[in-house]
Amino acid sequence: MCPAINNSGTKRGYIVPIGGAEEKLNNPEILDRFVDLCGGPDARIGIIPTASELEDTGRNYEKLFRKIGVKHAKVLSFFSREDCQRGSDVDYIEKCDGVFMTGGNQLRLSTTLGGTKAAKLIRRRNAMGMHVAGTSAGAAFMPEHMIAGGSEGSTPRPDMVTMAPGLGLTNAFIIDQHFRERDRLGRLLTALAYNPFAVGIGLDEDTAAFIRPGDQLEVVGSGGITLIDPTELSYSSMDRARRGEPVSLIGVRLHILVSGGRFDIETRVAHAAE
């Protein structure tokens, strides 16, 4: 699922994956930045709580956005594939300046939204300038290739990750979340060994990548982002490794960026915070 085509001449909207557990009360820097990007208090933000099994997740984020100052924050009740095909919540995406996907289980997102009118609208509207953010599972669901699950550890192994189709807002990145806290380096490396054309983004908690498509990524938040670039990968043993065996990868480049750090998408050059 590639990003939607933009023939209008307008700039694509930002993609904002968040590593989960973002600060919501004392200094909600990431959410404040997203709201400003969407237009401030007058922005229309649609909240998609599909990934969560908790009934109050959507309403809690609706209250949070209103507390930040957003006048128009609305929960979009996409809990079945039928919900995602028709109705006022689907139509609301046409009016949104931003869409926010909550955490939970990314497979609930992919199996509920995947291929529906709502998913196609989000992709088309993002291509036309609407911004899309997602935390935890919502972040993992954003790219074309989604990490659906896997095991912890630092050394890649063939059976360490399960992949599934994602929303398709970008095919330049594969995204993982709760990265440092849950020791997910190995599974992101495994995902990249299967898909060495993409750059891996490992998001720590309370940390976001503000991605301006085709241009630049900027880090915001209290943690770090691990960027893994396989452009110069010269050797991989993935094709001969058996289940449970370690995989050798030679030539992979790794960057750690903290708040203010940037990464150029076209040149794949990283810059420390100024």
Please confirm, yes or no, whether 88 is among the known catalytic residues: no
Confidence (pLDDT) at 93? 98
Task: Give yes or no for a contact between 208 and 16, defined as CB atoms under 8 angstroms apart.
Answer: yes
Confidence (pLDDT) at 3? 84
Q: What is the pLDDT of residues 234-267, one digit of tens each?
A: 999 999 999 999 999 999 999 999 999 999 999 9
What's phi and psi for 256, nearest 5 deg? -115, 120
Confidence (pLDDT) at 36? 98
Q: What is the mean pLDDT of residues 142-150?
A: 98
pLDDT tier for residue 1 given thresholds of 50, 70 and 90: low
The catalytically annotated residue of 144, 205, 236, 255 is: 205
Integer Cα distance of 209 and 131 in angstroms: 13
Integer Cα distance of 219 and 199 in angstroms: 15
Please confirm, yes or no, whether 178 is among the known catalytic residues: yes
Confidence (pLDDT) at 214? 87
Integer Cα distance of 261 and 274 in angstroms: 8
pLDDT tier for residue 10 given thresholds of 50, 70 and 90: confident
Residue by residue, DSSP assigns 221-239 as: ESSEEEEEE-TT--EE-TT
Confidence (pLDDT) at 6? 76
Please confirm, yes or no, whether 205 is among the known catalytic residues: yes
Q: What is the pLDDT of residues 18-74, one digit of tens each?
A: 999 999 999 999 999 999 999 999 999 999 999 999 999 999 999 999 999 999 999
The catalytically annotated residue of 22, 136, 144, 218 is: 136
Q: What is the mean pLDDT of residues 2-16?
A: 84
Integer Cα distance of 267 and 269 in angstroms: 5
The catalytically annotated residue of 178, 218, 236, 255 is: 178
CB count in 10 Å sphere of residue 98: 26
Confidence (pLDDT) at 216? 96
Q: What is the pLDDT of residues 160-201, one digit of tens each?
A: 999 999 999 999 999 999 999 999 999 999 999 999 999 999
Tell me: pLDDT of 140 over 80: yes
Domains assigned to the chain: 15-267 (3.40.50.880)
Rounded to the nearest 10 degrees, the angle between the axes of helix 29-38 and helix 57-68 is 70
**Which residues lie closer than 8 Å to 221 by C-beta, 6 or more apart?**
18, 19, 22, 29, 30, 204, 206, 207, 208, 259
Look at residues 168, 36, 49, 50 and name the one whose alpha carbon lies nearest to residue 97.
36
β-strand 131-135 against 145-150: which pairing, if any?
unpaired
Mean pLDDT of the chain: 96
